[in-house]
Amino acid sequence: MTEGEQKKYGQIMDSILEKAADEIVPETEEQLKKLMMKLLNDSVHIEGKILSTNFLDKLLGEKLVDITSEEYDKISYYVERNISGQGAIEPVIRDPYLEDIHSIGVSGVYVVHKILGMLHTNITFGTQDNLSHWIHTIGERIGRPVSDARPIMDGTLPDGTRINAIYSTDISRKGSSFTLRKFMEIPASISQLIKWGSIDANLASYLWLLLENQMSIFFSGETASGKTTMLNAALPFISRKAKMYSVENTAEVSPPQAAWQQLITREEGPKESQVDTFTLLKVALRSRPNYIIVGEIRGEEGAVAFQAMQTGHAVLATFHASSVKKLIQRLTGEPINIPPTFADNLNAALILQAIYRKGKFLRRCTSVEEIEGYLEEAGGVITRAVFEWDFTLDKHRFRGMNNSFILDKVAIRLGYDDKRMVYDELSLRAKILNRLVEENILDYYKVRDIIWNYQAKGLDGIPFEV
């Protein structure tokens, strides 16, 4: 905007905020937008036009801001962007090719592009006051207010985008900062992950057999390695009739099953009113779910998750560890403190990584490890690698053919007289998943329906020949 337009914009915003005090508080985003446009129209006079009731305001002597039609189009965009949108970063929030958005002080806004990686944008908040005001406004909007006394905010925007912000220069020396992790409204399907190369069809088929037969799995890796994306993509492998129970700090998992109880921790307010992951997991044990999903295991709630496994519940969780060795070290050390002899309650761990290969940013499942159990003679927990990723060829290798500890358990659950039959089933399901990719069936809900139809009707439920 020009200097003159900025001045008019400021006058209009003052008028809108003054008039808003007499209005009923909107309950939905749509109601907010309608009210916002009404107040805008009641605050301006467009040359040659009469808007809504502002002719009466003019007659009564109320001062309206005179603007042109071109100025109205521009100012209405900024009013909507700054009141119901996300302010200066609204354009990048809307970009489907961006994964992360962050700003450290007023040095500018950076984004992580799905193809191009880290980019520096021309978006800036200008001053530290503007940036701090933006963070404060977002905090109020999502019910996670920030202040000098409570400068750290973790929360979720209305569209599911995850925000972490630091308010105040006292603890962030370069000024207030934030990081946004964008959320896919519709999860990526398992066939989409196969097409991207994150996993292959054999690995996906392995996951299918484990999840369908109530095995406990951790999706482990470093930050931004695709843990939650992989977890969400795999959830349709679970029967549509299963009862699901999820516990998270911020809402990220989205099981497609109808019987899904979604619980979110409450970290704000007086201590006696706070509800943490540990408490919600204890409640889960009384709710008789078939599967318990933990958004992320960090502390003592890990012990409750393993208690749930011991009592027959399948537990799925994301976990920060870059290898199965480090995963076990974290599980058996402070503050989780799982006895090593309990480790085999966890059936398998997927290790995921974000990798730069030949100039491209990739997310790959680099290994799948089965947990066999604690062996005193070996001095630790024994694991078995069933899948490995070859960096040079960018291919997944199945090392568990006729040699999988967990698939042998699945064979028993399926009632196979010959355990080798489970590998035939794995191969068949891998063919189905490969056909999904070949037929370009990548939509999450279409893939889900095909998987569920196969579970109900076998090959008769598949819309193509295998």
> What pLDDT is attached to residue 319?
96
Closest CA to 301 of 262, 335, 333, 270: 335
pLDDT at 29: 78
Domains of the chain (ranges; CATH) run 3-84 (no CATH), 89-181 (3.30.450.370), 190-461 (3.40.50.300)
Measured distance CA(132)–CA(80) in Å, rounded: 20
Q: Which residues of the chain, if any, have pLDDT below 50?
A: 59-60
Contact 251, 257 (CB under 8 A): no
pLDDT at 59: 47
Which of 206, 260, 233 lies closest to 386, judged by CA? 206
Closest C-alpha to 153, from 131, 133, 177: 177
Alpha helices for 178-267 (secondary structure H): 190-196, 201-212, 227-234
In whole angstroms, give the CA distance from residue 60 to residue 212.
Answer: 70
pTM, two decimal places: 0.84
Q: Are 42 and 53 in contact (CB under 8 A)?
A: yes
Provide CB contacts within 8 A for 451, sequence distance 6+. Answer: 208, 236, 237
CA distance 154 to 171: 16
The confidence score (pLDDT) of residue 189 equals 98
Which tokens go with 393? 């060829």
CA dihedral 199, 204, 207, 213 (to 10 degrees): 170
Under 8 Å between Cβ of 349 and 218: yes
pLDDT at 62: 65
Compute the distance between CA of residue 149 and CA of residue 133 in angstroms, rounded to an integer: 16
**Residue position matching structure tokens 């007023």:** 106
Sheet with 380-390, edge to edge strand ranges: 260-264, 244-248, 291-294, 314-320, 217-221, 348-357, 360-375, 380-390, 395-398
